Chains A and B, each alone.
Chain A
């Protein structure tokens, strides 16, 4: 029996900042101070504030410690755990306001959040099925198996208004209904955990923090459509998630929550893992299923849709991890509860991976309909270093950039499409005035060129040609006709690519062209990059009248391209940059003493 629980984040983010060592040290120190029988150390999933890791919470006080180092542990144990004195200097500074310690869910980062899919992340030990059960785990599955017909479950899903969290936003209940309606000797349930958008880690965090919620939901889906086998397709680059998922599946089997005759209902269901090799295209549903079947992961045309002919040509449903994580909650709390959150168009909440130029980098779950301004300014804490917010990118390589003009648009599936972006799986990258929008478009195009599977020509060749044009623009070698050609290529890709990868690849280009055309024009006509990002268009110069000849710039130049030259009236001479050798790293400008500021970028 423990009187205190120390919860340490064991998600990928905190593990890479050293939470494994923290846990070891904690257990050691608790042993030394004789508290091993009173205090329990629990490794949990992600708390959300990934940039401040390693993070730990001490209950029952609920003290939230951030950026904890191994050296701090001895003090933490003797002060807090033994004597009950909170170690204020290690607290997350947002929880200390005017000398008073406030509760975590009162802080700006958590205040506007509403955790449904992430409800257990950072609260339970993901490797302990009992803790999941303790927080109403598997109750939804039990209720469904003993009290509900498949048709009733579908009606609940339809009434809840849940839409797929993987990107396209297809109504989940409808998908399940189609699969139930197709008779077959075998049917399958697949979970898409092939999260591939750069900067997105929602699904990883759910699987690391609460794997049982996905298992439970898959079993519910299996019962609903009449499937007895499930597959989780997960990328091999998520080793912690893979481990915890396998542990969870084994535990569920041990408890008879997977396997034969679950809850004495006569329903059999089991789940296996399939590891993906990291191809982005395998997140596309037909490619994913082809890959599970053991073939090269390439998409195929739809129809037939998976609900009719999916995995092994049998009716299959494929849902995203976050979609599944919502399902048990909807069953437990009722569809009205879920539908009461969000907007007319999109119900419930959405998890976003907040990244880029924002103070609080991490994972946030917000009700649909929250505005971009609230997410960036309030939850995210705004852009750092006093820079101005310029745009936010949602939807990864398939999405677009949302400019400041749409800062107050409520985020939901429909609204994001209307303003030329999309929900996608939930990556949200914030950009400030130092980011060049042409360069951003180029970054995403580079990604799609790399990840195009090559099966269809529009995508294979089209993305490459588009990237070549973007390269020309950022080098200042493009002409106005190139812009027309770029737009024409965009249209071709949208209409004739085989799968969503190619169809949506032009989105980053189209949305930046739409909102930031002036930046494209500045590159093409004036050969200037307004944000100062595109190196080919930049030049660093030393202003001779300001230079005092201290030589700091020359000392720090990595390519030794700054020379001293004599000048009348200047005792130490002045420095001059040899442009042909300059790599435009900007170190000289950074190092030049601010009160001199003799180096400029043009």
Chain B
């Protein structure tokens, strides 16, 4: 170890991985429906893709978790974004590509991706 920068580089690499063990109120939660309906519709690759992105990009304040059946089985796979202090946004008929778009636009960029939300789809 020759410098503080070297140490910092290691820290940032690890932080994305262990970040999920530090829960805080300012965290954004990304929840993916992983009941039988969700898994059958292909939720697992979505979960893997989202989790990988969070770790690769060191998004320390994003918490990815799974949940059971949300009740909208025909719209699975479902991904929900819960930002602190804001209303929950529910995205439906997800694919890994769409999910990553949501992560980029909404979770990182703060813009809700209207075309995928449950309200838009039901209309």
Contact = CB atoms under 8 A, between A and B. Distances in A.
Interface in B1-31: 1-4, 7, 10-11, 13-15, 17-18, 20-23
Interface stretch (A18-26, A127-135, A283-291, A562-570): A127-135
A262 B77 CA distance: 51
Binding site secondary structure of chain A: loop
Contact of B51 (A3, A85, A123, A257): A3
Contacts of B18: 5, 123-124, 131, 134-135
Given A60-B20, A131-B18, A139-B4, A1 B66 contact: no
Contact of A82 (B7, B14, B34): B34
B4 A143 contact: yes
B25 to A, nearest CB: 10
B61 to A, nearest CB: 12
A62 interface: yes
A59 B20 contact: yes
B21 A263 contact: no
A3 B35 CA distance: 16
Contact of B11 (A38, A124, A133): A133
B67 interface: yes
A130 B15 CA distance: 9
Given A38-B51, A84-B68, A130-B10, A263 B20 contact: no
A340 interface: no
B90 interface: no
A142 B5 CA distance: 10
Interface string B21-65: 111000000001111100100000001101110011000000111
Contacts, number: 102
B64 A3 contact: yes
A133 B48 contact: no
Nearest to A38: B48
Given A138-B7, A263-B3, A84 B65 contact: yes
Contacts of B50: 3
Contact of B2 (A7, A83, A137, A256): A256
A136 B11 contact: yes
Nearest to A86: B68
Interface in A120-162: 123-124, 130-131, 133-139, 142-143, 146
Contact of B34 (A59, A62, A84): A84
A130 B1 contact: no
Contacts of B48: 1, 3, 37-38
B7 A60 contact: no
Contacts of B21: 5, 7, 59, 123-124
Contacts of A103: 23
Nearest to A254: B1
B2 A60 contact: no
- Number of chain B interface residues as a range: 35 or more
Interface in B70-96: none
A134 B65 contact: no
A61 interface: yes
Given A84-B68, A256-B2, A5 B34 contact: no
B51 A83 contact: no
A59 B27 CA distance: 14
A255 B14 CA distance: 15
Interface in A225-282: 255-257, 261-264
Contacts of B11: 133-134, 136-137, 139
Given A3-B51, A123-B21, A263-B3, A60 B14 contact: no
Nearest to B5: A142
Contacts of A7: 21
Nearest to B2: A264
Given A1-B51, A83-B34, A142 B7 contact: yes
A3 B39 contact: no
Given A7-B21, A85-B68, A2 B51 contact: yes
Nearest to B47: A3
B20 A5 contact: yes
A136 B4 CA distance: 11
Given A62-B23, A85-B68, A263-B1, A133 B56 contact: no
B14 A134 contact: yes
A372 to B, nearest CB: 31
B2 A263 contact: yes
A82 B44 CA distance: 9
Contact of A60 (B52, B56, B64): B64
B4 A60 contact: no
Given A60-B65, A83-B39, A264 B3 contact: yes
A5 B17 CA distance: 9
Nearest to A138: B7
Q: Which of A133, A138, A139, A262 has the most CB of B within 10 A?
A: A133
A137 B7 CA distance: 9
Contacts of A3: 47-48, 50-52, 64
A60 B63 contact: yes
Nearest to A258: B1
A133 B13 CA distance: 10
A59 to B, nearest CB: 5
Q: Which of A1, A5, A82, A264 has the most CB of B within 10 A?
A: A1
Interface of B: 1-4, 7, 10-11, 13-15, 17-18, 20-23, 32-36, 39, 47-48, 50-52, 55-56, 63-68
Q: Give 6 nearest A-B pairs by CB, closest first.
A: A134-B14, A84-B66, A3-B51, A84-B34, A256-B1, A60-B20
7 contacts: A2-B55, A38-B47, A38-B51, A83-B34, A134-B10, A139-B7, A263-B2
Given A131-B18, A256-B1, A263-B4, 12 more contacts: A1-B48, A3-B47, A3-B64, A60-B64, A84-B67, A133-B11, A134-B14, A138-B7, A256-B2, A257-B1, A261-B2, A264-B2
